[in-house]
Chain A
Amino acid sequence: MAIGDIITRVDAPTKTTGQAIYANDVNLRGQLYAAFVGATVPSGRIVSIDPAAALAIPGVVRVLTEADMPRPAPSFADLYVPPLATRHIPLQGLEIAHEGEPVAMVLAETLEAAEAGARAVDVVYDAAAFTDPALAEPVDPDPGRGDYSFLDIAEFEKGDAAAAIAAAPVRIARTYTQPSRHSNPMEPCAVIAEWSGGRVTIHDTIQHVAALQGVITGVFGLEMDQVHVRSIHCGGGFGPKGFIWPHQILVPMAARVVGRPVKLALTRAEMYALVGMQPHMVQEVELGADENGRLLGISHIASNETGVTEDYIEFSTVPSRTYYACDAIYNRQYIRRGNVTLPTYQRSPAEGPGSWALGSAMDELARELDMDPLDLRLANYADVEPSSGEPWSSKMLREAYEMGAERFGWRNRPAGGTRDGHWRLGYGMADSSQGTQRYGSSARVRLRADGTAVVESSFSDIGTGSATVMRQIAADILGLDESAVSSREGDSVLPEAGPTWASATVISTGTAVHRAATEVRGRLARLAGWPADAVGVENGALTHEGEARPIRDILAEAGVSEVSGDGTFTPNGGEFSDAGPEGFPSRVFGVIFVEVAVDPELGLLRLRRATGVYSAGRIINPRTARSQMTGGIIWGWGMAAMEQSRLDPVLGRWLSKDLAGVAIPTNADIPELDVAFVDEFDERSGPLGAKGIGELGATGVAAAVANAVYDAIGLRVRELPITPEKILAG
């Protein structure tokens, strides 16, 4: 099996038979079930907690409140936020930062008793006035409130954008908004923790094993080898399983207090209160252009909601300084604080919201210019990275435009507003693009005497197919069949891998696996007495100048049972992470075309078809890659047409903490989707020539849909999601 082959997912046998074990499927001897009592007020103080009624329920063992919980070790103060999602840990004091925050934890012998106990705990609050962040004043982020503000820049200036826009013959200035949005992975967060002799074992469902291990050592003042984290399968990440949330700290604390294993699965409602969401955003975009559509100035000012404890920043202005060639650019990020759970990076961070605003504004500019929106993009094609002027690591967006327009039939599409029965058809397009993130990662590959190999690394396969492609990479280098390579992942005892987020896994951990396997091949060559750089592999045999020797024979003759190699990927300057090769800004690119049908009388909006074509480096497994892209496009459709979490302005709680009142795409919403990749190898990204794709598909889609709605019925919706009432009001 080789890189670029279509491989069936390696977890198909377990995941189609119910044998794959997720965190909530783990049961430990003597375990207690935990259930939280959530604050019913969005702000204020706990006055009293009466556990008597809960303790009277048969099966309830303990009701833990802040008085019972240990305080974090001094080393807690050294942790960064992130990977800690927030430094505000409930059950450590009496203040309430947001509705639903745990105020007590009921431990019981059965799940039913724990849940009944949680309902029976009597809590008295002194409620305080709360702030709805959607209505709060935008302010500058405070770098002292968490470390989110260090992750990108809050203000960017190149040239004099205001003057350039003011002097431009064609101008538009628009405001785009989007609601808070919860990622709702199908698997609610779950964690089970057990202490034994000063060591703790935690089964969790997370996107980054090492982050939880590190945070737990900080919270409890432990050494790394005293904390064992396992996350073998993760039932969907999309963001809220990336950083470490308070429940992941409270469960091991509780287990330590009671001296028994404690198991907690968040309810669907708690997925709204205890982990973060994509924040509500307001984005002001101003564009100035000449008569030919050349951008003379871009101004993009964004504000996002955040909690009252830390300043989370959604860096949605990134597209304005990276998508199009322009000499005058201004970006600014503000935040609005209020009593909500701290937001988090959610598919797709930064560029997801940013591409919605910029992609809509570009369409409005194209209309103003009476220009095809694709031609407007071509007129502003960024041959170098616009903010720095440096050359891209690789970019084949022109080819993607051409291929996409051809596959979709963009150049000869029917006129917008064409009727099909009671439907009006509309066509829209937008750019998809996401910046590269790479994280330090290591991996080990072990080749055994029987000709099989195993890849070992603590990466988390959250459904993205990483276990499949890591094996594929190793098999390619070692010339083995797919069935001969297995993997061990998602366990902190394995070589440490970077996170599964920000499309970073293949480019980071994949590079480490590639190097580890190459190391093994080199050792094998030395055993065979051949020069390491002149050997090849084929069908389980090492080859050199026309000679072939089976791997098994080489090992047998050398008398070794195994050859193992380690590989690492280290970001520039030995840092924890970087944004691609030094001096060559890196991103992935693409274009999304959609056809929608709008029923203006009923306010209905349907996706008829979509074509996405991407310039994203080498594709390791076209099958899992395709699934990433279609999944992303469907996420984009949800963002465009359905998803919103509304905060009750009186009670300060999410109105529908479920999957019924908050609509997400279902099967019936989604037609066949057309996806393709440009044939590309990014030589600067590493030996694989690959980049990241996980976040790419969801970018640009919301703008393409809004642009298509305008095309269909002449209604410009600047407030997501595009729901029937907005179409009817138009």
Chain B
Amino acid sequence: MKITSPKVSRRSLLRGSAAAAAASLAHARQVSAQNAPEESAFEAWIDLRLTVNGQAHALTVEPRVTLLDALRERMQLTGTKKGCNRGECGACTVLMDGRRVNSCLVLAASAEGRKITTIEGLADGDTPHPVQRAFAEADAFQCGFCTSGQIMSAMACIEEGHTGSPEEIREWMSGNLCRCSAYPQITAAVAAAAEELG
């Protein structure tokens, strides 16, 4: 990561960068003490190299840009969805070094050097990943808006070994809300995919 604005100090970097999520409590207090004009004068850009679905992307963003917004608005990887932007719904779930994270709560800057996998990176060419196929076959969606996040979460859920019973799947898939309420089918899809991936 390279900070390109000569004016930017560590303190102002923190100030502009979704501080509540990233900074320690002490930093957060410092931030809330700032008044609006000072915040508005803020400008900093950083050069990032992100590895998404095995591809390297170079981008220049403000430090406050989340991984979710970087994927969606800068890299045009719009398969990852924004349902709340606050870590409450799971629609933005991606894998970071194989672990599921809510990408709305991850700063793009902190994803540098990590391996990011999104819904666009699962299929092998035209052949869907077994988890994707399981979702299609189990009718595990309606509107599809939560589906990318559900599938990414399911990938990790299976990898974590949290698929021993329908109850266990339900518990470990509960970070991903589905307002269409395709829950029974989602549970069935995860169970089927876990079985296949053995």
**Residues in chain A within 8 A of chain B (CB atoms):** 8-9, 11-22, 24-25, 27, 53-54, 56-58, 110-112, 116, 119-120, 122, 183-188, 233-238, 265, 267-268, 462-465, 623-624, 626-627, 630-631, 634-635, 658-660, 664-670, 672-673
A463 near B122 with CB under 8 A, answer no
Whole-angstrom distance between the Cβ of B33 and the nearest chain A Cβ:
16
A465 to B180, CA, bound (A): 12
Chain A CB within 10 Å, residue with most, of B80, B139, B170, B171: B139
Residues in chain B near residue A666, CB distance under 8 A: 174, 177, 183
Chain B 39-52 per-residue mask, 1 if CB under 8 angstroms from chain A, else 0: 11111000000000
A186 to B176, CA, bound (A): 10
The answer to whether the Cβ of B123 comes within 8 Å of any Cβ in the partner chain is yes
A463 near B139 with CB under 8 A, answer no
A14 to B169, CA, bound (A): 25
Q: Which of A8, A57, A116, A236 contacts B180 (CB 8 A)?
A: A236
Given known A265-B82, A659-B84, contact A186–B39 (CB-CB < 8 A)? no
A463 near B78 with CB under 8 A, answer no
Specify the chain B residue showing the minimal Cβ separation from A465: B142
30 A-B pairs with C-beta separation under 8 A: A8-B137, A8-B139, A12-B135, A16-B132, A16-B133, A16-B141, A16-B147, A17-B123, A57-B42, A116-B39, A120-B37, A186-B91, A186-B145, A187-B143, A188-B82, A235-B145, A236-B180, A238-B179, A463-B141, A464-B142, A623-B139, A630-B184, A630-B185, A659-B83, A659-B89, A660-B88, A666-B177, A667-B187, A670-B183, A672-B166
Chain B 130-163 per-residue mask, 1 if CB under 8 angstroms from chain A, else 0: 0011011101011111111001000000000000
Whole-angstrom distance between the Cβ of B93 and the nearest chain A Cβ:
12
A81 to B76, CA, bound (A): 38
B82 near A670 with CB under 8 A, answer no
Residues in chain B near residue A110, CB distance under 8 A: 62, 73
Q: Which of B120, B122, B170 contacts A668 (CB 8 A)?
A: B170
Residues in chain A near residue B141, CB distance under 8 A: 9, 12, 15-16, 463
A58 to B181, CA, bound (A): 42
A110 to B65, CA, bound (A): 10
Specify the chain B residue showing the minimal Cβ separation from A634: B181
Given known A8-B136, A188-B83, contact A664–B179 (CB-CB < 8 A)? yes
B86 near A16 with CB under 8 A, answer no
A388 to B143, CA, bound (A): 38
A17 near B120 with CB under 8 A, answer yes
A27 near B170 with CB under 8 A, answer no
B40 near A233 with CB under 8 A, answer no
A669 to B76, CA, bound (A): 35
B37 near A236 with CB under 8 A, answer no
A235 near B185 with CB under 8 A, answer no
A666 to B84, CA, bound (A): 15
The answer to whether the Cβ of B128 comes within 8 Å of any Cβ in the partner chain is yes
A667 to B82, CA, bound (A): 19
A627 near B73 with CB under 8 A, answer no
The answer to whether the Cβ of B98 comes within 8 Å of any Cβ in the partner chain is no
**Residues in chain B within 8 A of chain A (CB atoms):** 36-37, 39-43, 62, 64-65, 69, 72-73, 76-86, 88-89, 91, 118-120, 122-123, 128, 132-133, 135-137, 139, 141-148, 151, 166, 169-171, 173-174, 176-187
B179 near A186 with CB under 8 A, answer yes
Residues in chain B near residue A462, CB distance under 8 A: 143
Whole-angstrom distance between the Cβ of B129 and the nearest chain A Cβ:
9
A658 near B86 with CB under 8 A, answer yes
Given known A623-B139, A660-B86, contact A667–B40 (CB-CB < 8 A)? no
A187 near B186 with CB under 8 A, answer no
Given known A17-B123, A56-B40, contact A186–B69 (CB-CB < 8 A)? no
A268 near B173 with CB under 8 A, answer no
Beyond A22-B78, A185-B145, A630-B181, list 14 extra A-B contacts (CB 8 Å): A17-B123, A18-B118, A18-B119, A53-B40, A119-B39, A186-B83, A188-B83, A235-B143, A237-B143, A267-B85, A463-B143, A627-B185, A631-B180, A658-B88
Q: Which of A21, A24, A27, A56 contacts B82 (CB 8 A)?
A: A24
Q: Which of B144, B173, B180 contacts A11 (CB 8 A)?
A: B144
Chain B CB within 10 Å, residue with most, of A16, A186, A673: A16
A186 near B73 with CB under 8 A, answer no
Given known A54-B40, A667-B183, contact A236–B137 (CB-CB < 8 A)? no
Whole-angstrom distance between the Cβ of A630 and the nearest chain B Cβ:
6
Given known A236-B180, A667-B173, contact A13–B148 (CB-CB < 8 A)? no
A235 near B40 with CB under 8 A, answer no
Given known A56-B41, A631-B180, contact A112–B81 (CB-CB < 8 A)? no
Residues in chain A near residue B40, CB distance under 8 A: 53-54, 56-57, 116, 120
Specify the chain B residue showing the minimal Cβ separation from A672: B184
A267 to B84, CA, bound (A): 7
Whole-angstrom distance between the Cβ of A14 and the nearest chain B Cβ:
8
A119 to B41, CA, bound (A): 13
Residues in chain A near residue B169, CB distance under 8 A: 667
Residues in chain A near residue B170, CB distance under 8 A: 667-668, 670
Residues in chain B near residue A667, CB distance under 8 A: 169-171, 173-174, 176, 178, 183, 186-187
Specify the chain A residue showing the minimal Cβ separation from B140: A16
Residues in chain A near residue B62, CB distance under 8 A: 110, 112
Specify the chain B residue showing the minimal Cβ separation from A15: B144
Given known A18-B79, A268-B83, contact A120–B145 (CB-CB < 8 A)? no
A236 to B142, CA, bound (A): 8
Given known A635-B181, A670-B184, A672-B166, contact A624–B139 (CB-CB < 8 A)? yes
Given known A56-B37, A627-B142, contact A664–B81 (CB-CB < 8 A)? no
A12 to B80, CA, bound (A): 16
A624 to B72, CA, bound (A): 30
A112 near B184 with CB under 8 A, answer no
Residues in chain A near residue B174, CB distance under 8 A: 666-668
A463 near B176 with CB under 8 A, answer no
A661 to B183, CA, bound (A): 21
B177 near A187 with CB under 8 A, answer no
Given known A53-B37, A111-B69, A660-B86, contact A463–B136 (CB-CB < 8 A)? no
A185 to B179, CA, bound (A): 6
Specify the chain A residue showing the minimal Cβ separation from B185: A627
Whole-angstrom distance between the Cβ of A6 and the nearest chain B Cβ:
9
Residues in chain B near residue A668, CB distance under 8 A: 170-171, 173-174
Residues in chain A near residue B183, CB distance under 8 A: 634, 665-667, 669-670
A18 near B89 with CB under 8 A, answer no
A186 to B86, CA, bound (A): 13
Specify the chain B residue showing the minimal Cβ separation from A56: B40
Q: Which of B43, B86, B182 contacts A58 (CB 8 A)?
A: B43
A184 to B169, CA, bound (A): 24
Residues in chain A near residue B173, CB distance under 8 A: 667-668
Whole-angstrom distance between the Cβ of A633 and the nearest chain B Cβ:
8
